[in-house]
Amino acid sequence: MPVQSLFLGIAIQEDVDGNLDLGFNSHDGTYTIDFKVVRLEKETYANGNGDSDAEARAAALADFTVSRLKKYQEEHLYKFVGAGLSKKLVEMSPELPSKIWLELDAVPLVLDPVLSQSHPTRTRLHPTTVDEVADMMVRKCLL
């Protein structure tokens, strides 16, 4: 069976309790194919005291993201060729772009979700939800 090439947008949002919401958006170049928001609970990367270690969180975030993407590719016979990653996501997990390149063979692009000022009809400069940011990342990746 042929494998379909897709582009990917990934964004992150942290809640007040330290849980992480990851937004995923896949696009075929014409249409959005799929999107999902997944929660990574603080307990999965916190130490025994319940405190989060930045290095442990970064590693857990990279491992979790890549494993979810591998599983998705295998289940749906897709191949991600490019991944737009929000700047905030890469700040939280600096090893994620290289892990995506190494393990998924997809080109990672670190992108800023701020809209350009050249759109005078837009009143909001920042997307508000993690799925909106992921959608913006995949569209910017396509460009």
CA-wise closest residue to 28 among 1, 2, 5: 5
103: domain CATH number is 3.30.420.40
Q: How many domains does the chain have?
A: 1
pTM of the model: 0.85
Domain of residue 70 covers 4-142
* 65 within 8 A of 91, measured Cβ to Cβ: no
Which tens digit of pLDDT belongs to each residue from 86-123?
Answer: 999 999 999 999 999 999 999 999 998 775 555 555 55
